[in-house]
Amino acid sequence: MSDWCDCFNFGISITKQASEIVMTMFQQHKDVRVKSSSADLVTETDERVENLLISAIRNRYPLHRFIGEESVAAGEHLELTDTPTWIIDPIDGTVNFVHRFPFVAISIAFTVNKQTEFGIVYSCVEDKLFCAQRGGGAFLNGEPLHVSGQEDISRCLVVTEIGAERDDLALSIMTSNIFRLLTLPVHGVRALGTAAVDMCQVATGGADVYYHIGMHCWDIAASAIIVQEAGGVVMDTDGSQFDMMSRRVIAASSLVVAGRVADMIQAFPCRRDDEQPV
């Protein structure tokens, strides 16, 4: 079990506080700005939630560092160090939030020495709190989580996303990946519009495998440890060790299923999160 229980409990408390802002604004009109593409959006609520979370954590743990989606978008340097670090996605599923599609999450991971100690994913509209501490198991609203253990790819429900990368090469590879998986066959392919909640479906056993290329560390850092603590496997899309900065991930019910997906899909080029623009 992690030695960072005070941070974990504080993280859950402030996540629930922040969710009140999300739910207050969910049905209201939003002023929307475009970031990297027409599918990469930000609202005032994203920024307000991130500021609340970082301010609260900084007041309690002044020596800790932060990686926040909107802070990075505003030009803040992204670097994961050995220092205790909070990795924050204030609204995972901003497009869903804008359209009032009910899969919107706050995602917080906490790392020390570059190792994730805990993850918290709160699906606000569903009122579902997914969480895990390293070595302590994974839970949904206090109930233990377990992956399905499925090893037959033809019996798998797959979760993925198209994502915000919309150039011709990325779209071609993403759609051809889905085509190849459907012709294996698999039972089906789903997309909820939030990487954090997508991956947590694997932890619940409701889905058997999730993969994605082009997301960011704040999208998946928390849910990765939740899947692992639920007994699942997390790796790079090429089958190598998971690296949250690589922008590539497979989370699966078993090593066999993860390997089959790694064999089938192709990754399009995307810059690592910890690489600075040229």
Q: Looking at residue 278, what is its pLDDT?
A: 45
Question: Active-site positions?
Answer: 69, 89, 91-92, 94, 219
Q: Looking at residue 112, what is its pLDDT?
A: 97
Shared domain for 94 and 158, answered yes or no, is no
Shared domain for 182 and 249, answered yes or no, is yes
Q: How many CA atoms lie within 13 A of 174 on its CB side?
A: 22
Shared domain for 106 and 188, answered yes or no, is no
Task: Return the closest-CA partner of residue 134 out of 68, 12, 222, 75.
Answer: 222
Please, which pLDDT band fits residue 277 given cuts at 50, 70 and 90? low
Percent above pLDDT 70 for the chain: 98
- How do residues 3-30 score in pLDDT, each as one tens digit? 799 999 999 999 999 999 999 999 998 8
Q: Is pLDDT above 70 for 100? A: yes
Round to whole Å and give the CA distance between 232 and 112: 22
Give the CATH number of the domain where residue 236 resides.
3.40.190.80
- How do residues 74-92 score in pLDDT, each as one tens digit? 788 898 999 999 999 999 9
Shared domain for 162 and 139, answered yes or no, is no
pTM for this predicted structure: 0.95
Q: How many CA atoms lie within 13 A of 49 on its CB side?
A: 32
218 is in which domain, residue-wise? Answer: 153-264
